[in-house]
Amino acid sequence: SYVLTQPPSVSVAPGKTARITCGGNNVGAKSVHWYQQKPGQAPVLVLYYDDHRPSGIPERFSGSNSGNTATLTISRVEAGDEAHYYCQVWDSSSDHWVFGGGTKLTVL
């Protein structure tokens, strides 16, 4: 089955740029979606189709996807961005959806 690999944790100072990676075999050929989840809350879609922001998501959130790595970039990080972030794809070979293991973003 298809596997997505994320770093368990990323730390960043306020105002700096955070980058969270999502690795998978030829993931650049798939549409990657990203979710933010804060404690006790349901996940929220922050990027879809690699780099598209749903309504209401700040422009500070951007994405890229090429080769074996997709990246979520958060510019000018704020304390409120502290959360777990999950990447996700649809795997056509199994017709199943897959989540990465999640990355805890800590704002120092």
Partner 1 sequence: QVQLVQSGAEVKKPGASVKVSCRASGDTFSDYYIHWVRQAPGQGLEWMGWINPKSGDTNYAQNFQGRVTMIRETSISTVYMEMSRLRSDDTAVYYCTRVALLRFADYGMDVWGQGTTVIVSS
Footprint on this chain of partner 1 (rule: CB under 8 A): 1, 30-31, 33, 35, 37, 42-45, 47-49, 54, 84, 86, 88-90, 92, 95-102
In whole angstroms, what is the distance from residue 27 CA to residue 19 CA? 17
In the chain the first and final C-alpha atoms are separated, in Å, by: 36
Cβ proximity to partner 1, 13 vs 94, nearer residue: 94
Cβ proximity to partner 1, 14 vs 54, nearer residue: 54
In whole angstroms, what is the distance from residue 21 CA to residue 13 CA? 18
> CB of 48: closest distance to partner 1 in angstroms?
4
